[in-house]
Chain A
Amino acid sequence: MASLGDLERTVMDVLWAADGPVAAAELRDALADRELALTTVHTVLSRLEAKGFVEHDEARPRRFRPRATREQHAAELMHEVLGASADRQAVLARFVGGVDPEEARLLRALLDGTAPGAAR
Chain B
Amino acid sequence: MLPATAAALAVLAALLAWPVPALLGRARWPRRDPLVALVCWQAIGLAGGLSIIGALLVHGLAPWGHSLPEAGWAVLRGHPAVDPVRGDHWVTLTLAAVLAAELLGVLALSWARTARTRRRHRELLELVVRPSPAAPDARLLEHPAPVAFCIPGARPLLVLSSGMVAELDDDQLAAVVAHERAHLAEHHHLYLLPFVAWEAALPVLPAAARAHAAVRELVEMRADDRALASLRGPDPRRTLAQAIVVAAGGAGGGVPSGALSVAGGALGARVLRLVDPPAPLPAAARAAALLCAGLLLLVPTVLLLLPAL
Contacts and interface: CB of A to CB of B under 8 A. Distances in A.
B118 A91 contact: yes
Given A85-B259, A90-B110, A99-B248, A73 B124 contact: yes
Contact of B262 (A76, A80, A91, A97): A97
A114 B271 CA distance: 10
A74 B142 contact: yes
Interface in B100-134: 110, 114, 117-118, 121, 123-128
Given A9-B126, A104-B249, A90 B114 contact: yes
B275 A94 contact: no
Interface stretch (B16-24, B49-57, B78-86, B250-258): B250-258
Interface of A is mostly: helix
A94 B268 contact: no
Interface in A38-95: 51, 53, 70-71, 73-78, 80-95
A95 B179 contact: yes
B149 interface: yes
Interface residues of B, number: 64
A95 B149 contact: yes
B299 interface: no
B201 interface: no
Interface in B137-167: 141-143, 145, 147-152, 161
B198 to A, nearest CB: 12
Interface of B is mostly: helix
Contacts of A91: 114, 117-118, 121, 151
Interface string B180-201: 1001100011001100100100
A99 B127 contact: no
Given A78-B145, A83-B259, A103-B267, A95 B252 contact: no
A116 B184 CA distance: 31
Contacts, number: 164
B76 to A, nearest CB: 36
B7 interface: no
A110 interface: yes
A12 interface: yes
Interface string B208-220: 0000110010010
B262 A107 contact: no
Contacts of B152: 92-93
A53 B125 CA distance: 12
Contact of B255 (A53, A83, A106): A83
Nearest to A91: B117
Contacts of B245: 104, 107-108, 110-111
B238 interface: yes
Contact of A78 (B161, B189, B261): B161
A111 B241 contact: yes
Contacts of A73: 124, 127-128
B233 interface: no
B134 to A, nearest CB: 13
A77 B238 contact: no
10 contacts: A85-B262, A90-B114, A93-B152, A93-B184, A94-B148, A98-B252, A99-B267, A107-B264, A107-B271, A110-B271
Given A104-B252, A110-B272, 17 more contacts: A76-B124, A77-B128, A83-B256, A84-B149, A85-B259, A86-B213, A90-B189, A91-B118, A92-B150, A93-B184, A96-B244, A96-B267, A98-B252, A98-B259, A108-B249, A110-B275, A111-B242
